[in-house]
Structure 1
Amino acid sequence: MAMACSTSLAGVADGPSMTLYRSDSPSLYASSGGGNADDGYAVIREQRDVILQAGVHDLVLGDLPNHLDAEAMALGFPGGEAKVISQRLLLGQGPNAALTGLTGSTISVLGDNGQPLANGTLLRAGEDGLVVRGSNGTTLIRQYAAVNTEGGHFPTGSSLSLRVDASRSGHADAVLSYPTSGIGWRAAYVATLQPGNACSMQFESRASIANRSGRDWQAINLTLIAGEPNFAKASAPRPMMMRVMAAPAAAEAMPEQSAVGDYRSYTLPAPVDLPDGSISQVPLYAARTMNCERTALYENGGGWMPPQPMINDAFNTDNNTSIISTLGFKAFDSLPAGYLRVLTADRNGVPQFIGEGRINDTPKGSDATITLGTAFDLRGQRARTQFHVDRSGRTMDEAFRITLTNAGQSARTVTVREHPNRWRQWTLTSSSVKPAKQTTDTLDFKVDVPANGNAVLDYAVHYTWTADDQPQS
């Protein structure tokens, strides 16, 4: 697209809005490393005040982020004052990035000694120099020391060069919308366990918003989208600590939640500032006290089921010794995916970190469980005590002994989870502790282990199969 003679620079108007999609990209939330990140996804809608000239002419909109999907950018004039004939994205990258946004504006170019080299409209800034159109013609300047702008403003990031056909001259409102990357959000939860025998926790819900787009966003109206829309173009902006900014909204004002297609949206109650190179946090829900469940889990094997009976005596002989501590609770409302940090008070009443886990998108009323870590004072030992196969009778018997030890000063209840998966048809023939839960591929036993002591669980299962399922010799 050739540049026409009449060119004007569009300025930024107040009141932009952003729809921001969730991203777990580590590059967005990293506390070290500079520069912007090509991850995350947001759709921006902002009003620009542009100066039109009657007829066909060019104008430039600057102050755009560094990562844009050029095919999805759109500029409209609600009042019908002009229409867009063509557009070109000028990327804010490379050594001339700071000058790219000045394309179409009036500048003064100075030499090493401050002498004026040219004054006029900047047509292009490239590696071969500046192309400036003045009253005496067009000049290519290869060596210069400084550039001054007529308005004293240097746009940052990328710019959009447009050819428009206007019906009149003067100011007009234009609405620009575009997707960008380098910015994303995810939920951040903190649970502080409360003292007492029953599991209770103080639960805080926030949204962490990471901005590495190359642009500051000020007083922007923000809507957060929870869920996972599909993005077809691999080259488009993708959804996947620097200073933390306080939420400007009042403490009692919470985001308004609603459904958007198959997803959930959270519209913030007041505009927020999102400086480039920052992680801002805003509340999702008011803090609340919730019931929870602490579990010490000793698990062997998995839920995989073989295509035929497994009669090999080496199968299913796992002997894990670690007992895993977990925390579970029921979602009080729709909880977007994010990370939950869990704290508990030490003997001096100081909150201490005891584990962190990821929560997936969890609908209201659903269960959420995270792994806190390995219990220090608890251990398990698993030994097989019986194994017999009767091929002619198409049966198989297997038994295990599980020994649990507790080196702590208080009694614990350990959930033992076993997976009888030699074959899909099986029955529990005996157990020293009645199972708390039984499914097609899982046995759960809750075993009480005394302080500074141990407990033993014995159980046996019986497998059967038909002639059609007979395993190979």
Structure 2
Amino acid sequence: MKNYLALKVSLALLALFGWLAAQSDLSITVTGQNLGLVHERREIDLKKGVSEYWLTDIPQQIDATSVLVESPGNAFLVLEQNYEYDLINVSKVLDKSIDRQIWVEDPALGQISGKLLANNAEYLMLLDEQGQLQILPRNDKQKVLLKDYARQKDQFITKPTLVWKVKVRKDGKHPLVLTYLTRGLKWRADYVGRLEDDDQQLQLACWVTIENHSGRTYKNARLKLMAGELNIVRDVFQRKNMVKRLMATAVTRESQFEEKEFFEYHLYTLQGRTTLLNNQIKQIQLFPETAVKVKKSFVVTSYAPQKVEVKIKFKNSKQNNLGIPFPAGKVRLYKEDGQDLEFIGEDAIEHTPRNEEILLTVGRAFDLVSKRNVLKTERPSKEKEKRTIEYVLRNHKKQDVLVEIIEYVPSYREVELLSSNFEALETKANYLKFKIPVKAGGKNRLEIKYLLK
């Protein structure tokens, strides 16, 4: 019995090593722009001389013009390449059977045989043995029989294939290094944050979501994610359980990815290997739950003065338990109401380097009301314009608040603040910023006068 088990284990290992020899290494680099780079090593069996080789197990969305073939030791040379994606289907089989004898079984007409003259989605056209032309409407219950079809030797592609014309120096198995680009591979960052009761701390974690719709499964692959915006020439031609996973995986403090700078981008390399199934959406944690200090603010802008937006801001620094490049993605925020965790809003962020601030728009404050009034407009000269603007704020909350008001001005004009009933926090080329206190249940107003030159 022990010998039998040992034999089974040995056979299993031989099968595994045989698979690894056929496809010894596979690496994928996924961008956020629906494009991936695949680098793999295979072993292929070739005959000496010039012959044709069919390379399968490639993605449907491969960019055949990007294929780079390397033969270590120059054992073979690819003279010509064709990408065959004309996969077999019923219409193609019938098209290749034109002028051949076929048999049609129809529930209404019985069995009819004859030479196939034409085929389309609606009709079959046959010349029967009596010389009559039969035009048969297609239907779901109709059966078509092609006898002795195997003898016809029609070549059909059952899966995407690269067909190479190769020149080989000697018979045998030769190593192949294959590199290519494919559409249908993309990734994004999904951030999940749990805001504490005092709104001053955020428990933040990040998952990467990888989508594979390239038309191929990648087994036991090394995975890299590239963050950044690549210049790509275009041809003219579910997350509801994420919060639970966040809480469950917060026991580990180690990231599953190693980050490094590469060219003008950032690469995140998965520690270990993974399998990406075709049409699969896979999520892997980028970094575990981390306590981050945040500041909540209320903001009104002249672009939408009737809205008092709720903002959350934090610094991406080591002092704030972060200090890593943040890939572009969506940040979803949650907060406990005393019993359950509730969703309070989300925002998208751009690629953010370390030591930069991240500002999130969470939503609109329900109990704060704002109104902007243009009190006066004057033109001292053709080139100058004087404006008097009023903001009225009302606070229906039970707590006092500070509201930040940003008055935007045209960036192509010089601005001079003439007067205001509150001191300006910032005076920039394209905006004026103020912070206005509003008592609980009360209101306040800001009046500003500025000159545009």
- Cα offset, 1:184, TM superposition: 0.6
Secondary structure of the residue aligned to 2:56 is strand
User: Does the 8 Å CA contact 2:28/2:39 hold for their aligned counterparts?
Assistant: yes
User: Does the 8 Å CA contact 2:87/2:158 hold for their aligned counterparts?
Assistant: no
Correspondence for 1:419 among 394, 408, 424: 408
Give, in whole Å, the separation in 2 of the partners of 1:219 and 1:457: 62
Partner of 2:163: 161
> Sequence identity of aligned pairs in percent?
25
User: Does the 8 Å CA contact 2:314/2:357 hold for their aligned counterparts?
Assistant: yes
Partner of 1:86: 80
Question: Superposition RMSD on alpha carbons, in Å?
Answer: 3.6
Partner of 2:334: 343
Q: 1:253 to 1:418 in 2, by over 3 A?
A: closer
- Cα offset, 1:70, TM superposition: 1.3
- Cα offset, 1:229, TM superposition: 1.5
Give the letter aligned to residue 341 of structure 2. P
Asked whether 1:205 is paired with 2:206, we answer yes
Asked whether 1:358 is paired with 2:348, we answer yes
Correspondence for 1:264 among 260, 263, 266: 266
Correspondence for 1:390 among 380, 387, 403: 380
Partner of 1:449: 438
* 1:283-340 deviation line (CA, Å, top 9, x unaligned): 2234321122222111114xxxxxxxxxxxxxxxxx8311111222222221111111
Give, in whole Å, the separation in 2 of the partners of 1:145 and 1:64: 31
User: Does the 8 Å CA contact 1:98/1:156 hold for their aligned counterparts?
Assistant: no
Asked whether 1:143 is paired with 2:153, we answer no
Partner of 1:322: 307
Give, in whole Å, the separation in 2 of the partners of 1:144 and 1:288: 68
- Cα offset, 1:271, TM superposition: 0.8
Q: 1:412 to 1:46 in 2, by over 3 A?
A: same
- Cα offset, 1:418, TM superposition: 1.1
Asked whether 1:299 is paired with 2:282, we answer no
Give, in whole Å, the separation in 1 of the partners of 2:41 and 2:344: 47
Residues 239-278 of structure 1: matches in 2 within 5 Å? 241=238, 252-278=254-280
Give, in whole Å, the separation in 2 of the partners of 1:182 and 1:425: 48
Secondary structure of the residue aligned to 2:365 is strand
- Cα offset, 1:423, TM superposition: 8.3
User: Does the 8 Å CA contact 1:401/1:457 hold for their aligned counterparts?
Assistant: yes
Give, in whole Å, the separation in 2 of the partners of 1:59 and 1:161: 6
User: Does the 8 Å CA contact 1:420/1:461 hold for their aligned counterparts?
Assistant: no
Give, in whole Å, the separation in 1 of the partners of 2:403 and 2:341: 25
Q: 1:156 to 1:75 in 2, by over 3 A?
A: farther
In the alignment, structure 1 segments of 5+ residues that lack a partner are 1-10, 24-39, 100-110, 113-126, 129-141, 148-153, 302-318, 466-473
Secondary structure of the residue aligned to 2:65 is helix
Residues 181-200 of structure 1: matches in 2 within 5 Å? 181-196=183-198, 199-200=200-201
- Cα offset, 1:180, TM superposition: 0.5
Give, in whole Å, the separation in 2 of the partners of 1:290 and 1:404: 31
User: Does the 8 Å CA contact 1:183/1:209 hold for their aligned counterparts?
Assistant: yes
Q: 1:92 to 1:216 in 2, by over 3 A?
A: farther
The structure whose residues are more often helix, as a share, is: 2
Partner of 2:215: 214
* 1:336-360 deviation line (CA, Å, top 9, x unaligned): 1111111122132x22111111111
User: Does the 8 Å CA contact 1:157/1:215 hold for their aligned counterparts?
Assistant: no
Give, in whole Å, the separation in 1 of the partners of 2:42 and 2:49: 19
Give, in whole Å, the separation in 2 of the partners of 1:12 and 1:145: 35
Give the letter aligned to residue 294 of structure 1. K
- Cα offset, 1:235, TM superposition: 5.9
User: Does the 8 Å CA contact 1:407/1:452 hold for their aligned counterparts?
Assistant: yes
Give, in whole Å, the separation in 2 of the partners of 1:278 and 1:361: 25
Give, in whole Å, the separation in 1 of the partners of 2:401 and 2:431: 22
Q: 1:98 to 1:50 in 2, by over 3 A?
A: farther
User: Does the 8 Å CA contact 2:88/2:157 hold for their aligned counterparts?
Assistant: no
Secondary structure of the residue aligned to 1:15 is strand
Partner of 1:44: 38
- Cα offset, 1:77, TM superposition: 2.0
User: Does the 8 Å CA contact 2:84/2:157 hold for their aligned counterparts?
Assistant: no
Give, in whole Å, the separation in 2 of the partners of 1:97 and 1:389: 75
Correspondence for 2:47 among 38, 48, 53: 53
Q: 1:219 to 1:297 in 2, by over 3 A?
A: same
* 1:16-37 deviation line (CA, Å, top 9, x unaligned): 10111113xxxxxxxxxxxxxx
Give, in whole Å, the separation in 1 of the partners of 2:230 and 2:410: 36
Q: 1:375 to 1:98 in 2, by over 3 A?
A: farther
TM-score by length of 1: 0.70
Give, in whole Å, the separation in 2 of the partners of 1:62 and 1:174: 13
Give, in whole Å, the separation in 2 of the partners of 1:402 and 1:81: 78
User: Does the 8 Å CA contact 2:202/2:293 hold for their aligned counterparts?
Assistant: yes
Q: 1:243 to 1:322 in 2, by over 3 A?
A: closer
User: Does the 8 Å CA contact 2:327/2:352 hold for their aligned counterparts?
Assistant: yes
Give, in whole Å, the separation in 2 of the partners of 1:16 and 1:98: 34
- Cα offset, 1:447, TM superposition: 1.3
Give, in whole Å, the separation in 2 of the partners of 1:397 and 1:253: 55
* 1:33-79 deviation line (CA, Å, top 9, x unaligned): xxxxxxx1111111222112122222211111111211111222214
